[in-house]
Amino acid sequence: MNSSANAERYLVTGAYGCIGAWVVRELLHAHAHVVAYDLATDSARMSLIINDADPTSLIRVQADITDLAALERTLDQHAITRVIHLAALQVPFCRANPPAGAAVNVVGTANIFEAVARRLDTIPHVVFASSIAAYDAHVPGAPPAMAGTPSTIYGVYKRATEQMAQLYADERGVASIGLRPHTIYGPGRDQGLTSAPTMAMMASAADRDFVIPYTGSAQFQHAQDAARVFVQATQAPASGAKMANLAGHVASIDKIIDLIHARSPKTADHISATGTALAFPESVPSGDLDEIIGATTFDRPLADGIADTIATFGSAIRAGLIDPHAVLGAP
């Protein structure tokens, strides 16, 4: 982040989620003013992730993203100039309660675009999270596509937000940059369909058995790397509605398990996988990303990211910041 960004005032919605907490950490390390906007009152993820950051420039606002009036009050009261919109309910929650998923993921995103549309003089563009799930259900051997239907209701919602972004750009002049993560891993990733590899890393740190409930391959992105891209996107020039996939390292679930065992040899045979591959594309091109926001780096080796994640979980478990029984269930 450049030095001029320190004068900006950032709103981070879904700040207590995994990427949200890492975004807050990156912004605080850059001495930016941050408003963490979330319906929750606090999050163990924040304690785990920003424990070495100075929180004096962090303001916490407990509010519902589906409440447009509350969102607009927050933007105005805190003179927000940059918006990173990450608030969302993930696949399992959307499947269990589709109306709630639509309210948060679709209506909440409409509120963000509407609020910014009314403040184009102070907020130049929206940065928001879509997902790999927005692609059509994966057909083995076929390239990723968006001509049909996503494999989950969550993906339908994410597809809708991308189309919404385009219409707000065309009709209201709201510029936006939407980013599609694939499989985020690392400290703080404890919810969502693709959180299982990270839960396996926690299980390794806790010397617990864990079964990843799917197989196949995925494009892995460390949460901190992803957060840095979201922050970088706020400083990029933006016009129209731009979409890009995050870069990452493509690996099979078996490879992830091998890397976990290499870091924690005593847990060999504790971590396994079963089932079929997920109905998402295993990898997607990310060439547009650097063109939209400038050069990015996703060169953290998977082995290093996994080793760091296991080490962080181990330290957090010993310090009492994480209760593996609460997260992973009783052994």
User: Looking at residue 46, what is its pLDDT?
Assistant: 87
**Backbone angles phi and psi of 200, in degrees to 5:** -65, -35
Q: What are phi and psi of 114, to 5 degrees?
A: -65, -45
Question: 163-204 pLDDT, tens per residue?
Answer: 999 999 999 999 999 999 999 999 999 998 899 999 999 999
Higher pLDDT, 44 or 186: 186
Q: Into how many domains does the chain fold?
A: 1
pLDDT computed for residue 3 by the predictor:
47
Distance CA 186, CA 130 (A): 19
pLDDT at 123 over 70: yes
Q: Would you say residue 314 lies in a domain?
A: no
- Residue 56 confidence class, pLDDT cut points 50, 70, 90: confident
> What's the domain range around 60?
3-188+220-249+281-298
pLDDT score of 2:
52
In a domain, 40, yes or no: yes
For the chain, the average pLDDT equals 93
Please give the share of the chain, as a percent, with pLDDT higher than 70. 97
Q: Does residue 6 carry a pLDDT above 70?
A: no
Which pTM value belongs to this model? 0.95
How many CB atoms sit inside 10 A of residue 40's CB? 14
Residue 263 pLDDT > 70: yes
Question: DSSP code of 119?
Answer: T
Q: Is residue 107 part of a domain?
A: yes
The answer as to whether 255 is a domain residue is no
- 21 occurs within a structural domain: yes
d(CA 284, CA 261): 27
Whole-number Å distance between alpha carbons of 160 and 145: 15
Contacts of 6 (CB under 8 A, 6+ apart): 30, 31, 32
| Any domain includes 322 | no
Kindly state whether residue 152 falls inside one of the protein's structural domains: yes
For residue 237, tell me if it sits in a domain. Answer: yes
Look at residue 5 and tell me whether its pLDDT is greater than 80: no
In this prediction, residue 112 carries a pLDDT of: 98
Residue 328: per-residue pLDDT: 87
Share of the chain above pLDDT 90, in %: 83
DSSP string, 253-273: HHHHHHHHHHH-GGGTTTEEE
CATH number of the domain bearing residue 163: 3.40.50.720
